[in-house]
Amino acid sequence: MQQSSLLVSLPEPVLYHICSLLISPFDLLHFGSTCKRLRSISSPPSLWLRHVFSWCEGLWQWIEIPEASHPRDWLIELFRSCCSKHPKTLHSCHLGSGEEWIRTESKQFRCMLGMLRYTYADRDERYNPTVMYRRWIFDIGLYHRIKPHINFTSENFALEDAALKELVELGQAKERDLRLEEPRFSNLCIKYYIKRIKSSRVDWYEDLFSSGPRGSLCPLLLCPSEVGYTSEMTGTAGVATLVSIVLAKYLSPHCFDGKITLPQMVHMIQKACCSLKINLEQLLPVQRQQWKSQPLANSVTSMAFQGLPSLDTWQVDLDELQINLHWKEIMLQCSRYLEENKWLDSIVDNIRVKWRHALLEEIRKVLEGGEKMPRTVTRINLTDCDLIGGDNRRQEMAAAAFISDIGVLVTWQLVGKINF
């Protein structure tokens, strides 16, 4: 109590400086919730705008725009939006003999997961017309093991039928996914959903799934650029992401000086990205004839020097706000940014890697318990989907569990909900 009083009694410039050093917006929120004085000192828009621009880099075109004008309230609304989209995955798993897996996730984890989902939003939009619904990241869950008694590290581990049934339900598998109606699968039973892959002790997070640019925090996600950056698999959405990064850097000073509000800026970026994709899709056929390799990257360079597209409606918004910025200038900067990063897909992947690494820190707390000694982690597949080494190409949900002696990480990917 005395230490708290000493903190509050510090001069305002010192407290403001402390606020500016806080890395996470959650730390700033907690700092400001201590008392009225600290709430007031931690509320200046300049403090919160720094966190907003860090959190939303490269994601401006995908986020649902909060209505609040103050950056603090705007970010809180964004956090609530991320947390509200919680799929109906299990909150507990009862494996018998007293062992339970109880879900344990902080709001901070759910918020970061929501941001990671935004980085794959373009993948969710790209699916076959026969697919009703798809989520590249359906969910990621963390569980504590209560009274653990099953040794998952044993290559010959065996589970009782009740435990198998619980794990299958945890993986969100459906009976029809085993295609029991087909003669060649008539002998299959529910236990074939569950498959042990392997155990790892040192650097399990690299051994069981890669966390590099071509890997994924969620092992079920096939990284869009796994076949190489030259493929430009991010498409026009990748170009829009590039443009959103550059536009935010140009417009951020106008937010800091109060010339435009945060919702106005995000709306302008989304409007520009939408118009750009429409114009770019019209230009691409010509660009593909001219450039057999990396037509999108070359389109950016062509647009930079030709001043295309003009996006007149977007320019009107800038003129009304008396902001002197022209599309050619934006595209020239995009061309330079693209040259620095070598490949279009690498720009998008860098954003994904940022959030995968942020989540990995939270995951290690649950699976490793904060201890310096490494724990053994075992991966088991909870479905038989091809994405994780199974044999069923029609599986809707792909899921896997990563199990230590104290905690569990479960990942789900809805590869496509189709009417069979």
Q: What is the pLDDT of residues 220-229, one digit of tens each?
A: 444 444 444 4
As given in the structure block, the two tokens for residue 389 are 């080494």
Q: Within 69-128, where are the H helices?
A: 71-84, 107-119, 121-125
Flag whether pLDDT at 215 surpasses 50: no
Q: What is the pLDDT of residue 278?
A: 81
pLDDT value at 196 more than 90: no
- Is pLDDT above 90 for 190? no
Higher pLDDT, 277 or 420: 277
User: Which pLDDT does position 307 carry in this prediction?
Assistant: 61
Of 55-64, 86-95, 287-296, 334-343, which range is least confident? 287-296
**Can you give the pTM of this predicted structure?**
0.86
Q: Is the pLDDT of residue 109 over 90?
A: yes
Average of per-residue pLDDT across 341-357? 85
The reported pLDDT for the residue numbered 16 is 87
Q: Contact at 8 Å (CB) between 138 and 413?
A: yes
Average pLDDT over residues 286-305: 74
Nearest CA among 337, 326, 315 for reference residue 58: 337
pLDDT > 70 in the chain, percent: 80
Strand ranges for 153-229 from DSSP E? 195-200
Q: Name the band, by pLDDT with cuts 50, 70 and 90, for residue 99.
A: very high
**CA 224 to CA 229: how far, in whole Å?**
9
Q: List the single range of 41-55, 212-226, 245-259, 287-301 with lowest mean pLDDT.
A: 212-226
Own/partner contacts of 149-154, CB < 8 Å, gap of 24 or more, are 149/97, 149/98, 149/99, 150/95, 150/99, 152/196, 152/199, 152/378, 152/380, 152/403, 153/199, 153/376, 153/378
Q: Answer with the residue of higher pLDDT: 176 or 105.
A: 105
- What is the pLDDT at residue 4? 53
Percent of the chain with pLDDT strictly greater than 90: 26
Q: Which residues have C-beta within 8 Å of that of residue 50, sequence separation ≥ 6? A: 20
pLDDT higher than threshold 60 for residue 217 = no
Give the whole-angstrom CA distance, residue 210 versus residue 23: 26
